[in-house]
Structure 1
Amino acid sequence: MESKMRKGRARPIRAVVGWVRRRSPKVKASLSVIAGMAALVFLRFIVHDHDKLFVIAEAAHALGISVLIYKLIKERTCAGLSLKTQYLTALFLAVRLYCSFVMEYDIHTVLDCATLATTLWVIYMIRFRLKSSYMKEKDNFAIYYVVLPCAILAFTVHPSTTHNLIDRISWAFCVYLEAVSVLPQLRLMQNTKIVEPFTAHYVFALGVSRFLSCAHWVLQVLDTRGRLLTALGHGLWPPLVLLAEIVQTFILADFCYYYVKSVVGGQLVLRLPSGVV
């Protein structure tokens, strides 16, 4: 009886997913934008303190890391995980922690410390304890493709605050790098085409985290009637901060769609069609 009720509830969702799947790429992109705007409106009315969205975003990231920890401890395998994404994650977290200590120390600093510590542990497990299951040949994204452009962009466009130049460049670098840090993981999943459950849960948690972080910035700009952009400085830096948040959200949007579709369909293993990521 309970299984029949679940199937009955899932049927309308499957119908909607099926309808979306049959639309053209342009229509899908338009629907994604509409869905994102609707979600922003929903969050604006149910979350009164929009600063909390950033904390929730970091909590979602921590939840994703917890899924990885479970996978590495219980499953004793790191198959499907990108070591290069973990390197990039550790790098932008370390830079962001440095900026937090020299610029502003708050709850985000504590959360970043915990996330960095667990990320370093994940790196240790993949490199040393479970290296026999690491898909090195599939994890073939060249990370200098993102590190160098982010560094160059940070030197060129950074905050115009009263902090010293190194601190301002570091702040910009971690913002840009975070936006693209998941690309090696997406490349690995595209190479394998099949994503096992725990890896899929981890990447979906990253997608949720990125969306909530983006929502935090967008809603803060709306709440302050644009004054937040002025507080961030002048020139290209304020719009690039928002662009970085939007980019990292849309990078994972396609994967999140197939993840939800897979969960609704009751599939434990996520199969990605060509060209998704």
Structure 2
Amino acid sequence: MNIFRISADLLHLASFFILIFKMKATKSCKGISFKTQLMYTLVFTCRYLDLFHVLGMMITFNFAHITGLTLYNTFMKILFLAASYYIVYLMRTELKSTSDDARDTFVLWHILAPCAVLALIFNAQFTILEILWTFSIYLEAVAVMPQLMLLIETGEADSLSSHYMFAVGGYRALYLVNWVYRYATEPYYSNWIAWIAGFVQTALFGDFFYYYFVKIMSGDAALKLPTTAGEV
């Protein structure tokens, strides 16, 4: 591992803590897209099915193939899964009355269907686990779209929500740097599916990054975007 990978993982983990803290502190999930959070939960569920294999080795005390990197990855995967499911749980139980369902209108099948088709066609190996992993890569690239559409619809995001989104976009941007570093330092390293999806995901955050830094420089409490209100 390198510093870019570790920094990306920590920023990703921070994004979960920021969002959970925001929802618990304000007792509200207003401005947060449930559909985006639901898709992130699906992303991690499909991607981390190998956890059963690793945990099985641990339960049976088969540590021959378990390295420090394996333990690190397993720990982070469990945290990501637990946090994503907890967020969905909060948004559909104690905070449901504060959700923005009326404006969170993005049609999920417009994302899910193309990602599923792409995973069936473009994958490294035609096995169930590999197809599900590839599906999760494609889906994560565009899972933020309902959140971005909700942000455009409302025209602004509070400080914690904007920090959360910056952490999500920033983690993937750091992964791009990590891939460049690995390509330059590791012979035969290649992962074009993740590269393309990661570039798309980072590009989707382009406008948000601009307005986020404008907010930081101006010292505004809320991030403001051009709104679609009033358009025909």
Shared fold (TM-score, shorter chain, > 0.5) = yes
Partners of 2:153 and 2:227 within 8 A in 1: no
Q: Which residue of 1 aligns with 2:159?
A: 197
Q: Which residue of 2 aligns with 1:228?
A: 189
The CA distance in 2 between the partners of 1:210 and 1:224, in whole Å, is 20
Q: Which residue of 1 aligns with 2:34?
A: 83
Q: Which residue of 1 aligns with 2:62?
A: none
The CA distance in 2 between the partners of 1:180 and 1:55, in whole Å, is 23
Unaligned runs of at least 5 residues, structure 2: 55-65
Counterpart secondary structure, 2:107: coil
Encode CA deviations 1:11-47: one digit per residue, 9 max, x unaligned.
Answer: xxxxxxxxxxxxxxxxxxxxxxxxxxxxxxxxxxxxx
The CA distance in 1 between the partners of 2:53 and 2:134, in whole Å, is 14
- C-alpha distance 110-74 of structure 1, shift in aligned 2 (>3 A): same
Of 80-89 and 91-100, the range deviating more from structure 2? 91-100
- C-alpha distance 151-98 of structure 1, shift in aligned 2 (>3 A): same
Q: Which residue of 1 aligns with 2:223?
A: 270
Q: Which amino acid aligns with 2:78?
A: C
Matching of residue 113 in structure 1 with residue 66 in structure 2: no
The CA distance in 2 between the partners of 1:79 and 1:110, in whole Å, is 30
Q: Give the CA deviation at 1:197.
A: 1.1
Q: Give the CA deviation at 1:102.
A: 4.7
Q: Give the CA deviation at 1:196.
A: 1.0
The CA distance in 2 between the partners of 1:109 and 1:70, in whole Å, is 24
Of 49, 58, 61, which aligns to 2:12?
Answer: 61
The CA distance in 1 between the partners of 2:177 and 2:92, in whole Å, is 35
Superposition pairs for residues 25-174 of structure 1, below 5 Å?
A: 50=2, 52-102=3-53, 105-160=70-125, 165-174=127-136
Q: Give the CA deviation at 1:64.
A: 1.1
Q: Give the CA deviation at 1:100.
A: 5.0
Q: Which amino acid aligns with 2:98?
A: S
Q: Which amino acid aligns with 1:119?
A: S
Which structure is larger by alpha-carbon Rg, 1 or 2? 1
Q: Which amino acid aligns with 2:15?
A: G
Q: TM-score, normalised by structure 2?
A: 0.86
Q: Which residue of 1 aligns with 2:170?
A: 208
Q: Give the CA deviation at 1:239.
A: 2.8
Identity of aligned residues (%): 31
- C-alpha distance 100-253 of structure 1, shift in aligned 2 (>3 A): farther
Counterpart secondary structure, 2:205: helix
Encode CA deviations 1:179-224: one digit per residue, 9 max, x unaligned.
Answer: 1111111111011011111111100110111101121122211223
Unaligned runs of at least 5 residues, structure 1: 1-48, 230-237
The CA distance in 1 between the partners of 2:52 and 2:214, in whole Å, is 41
Q: TM-score, normalised by structure 1?
A: 0.72
The CA distance in 2 between the partners of 1:101 and 1:250, in whole Å, is 33
Encode CA deviations 1:100-119: one digit per residue, 9 max, x unaligned.
Answer: 55589442232121121111
Task: State the superposition RMSD in angstroms.
Answer: 1.9
Give the number of the structure whose residues are more often helix, by fraction: 1
The CA distance in 2 between the partners of 1:106 and 1:180, in whole Å, is 29
Partners of 1:218 and 1:242 within 8 A in 2: no
Q: Which residue of 1 aligns with 2:138?
A: 176
Partners of 2:154 and 2:227 within 8 A in 1: no
- C-alpha distance 245-167 of structure 1, shift in aligned 2 (>3 A): same
Superposition pairs for residues 19-30 of structure 1, below 5 Å?
A: none
Q: Which residue of 1 aligns with 2:192?
A: 239
Encode CA deviations 1:223-244: one digit per residue, 9 max, x unaligned.
Answer: 235x112xxxxxxxx4332111
Of 262-271 and 68-77, the range deviating more from structure 2? 68-77
The CA distance in 2 between the partners of 1:191 and 1:256, in whole Å, is 17
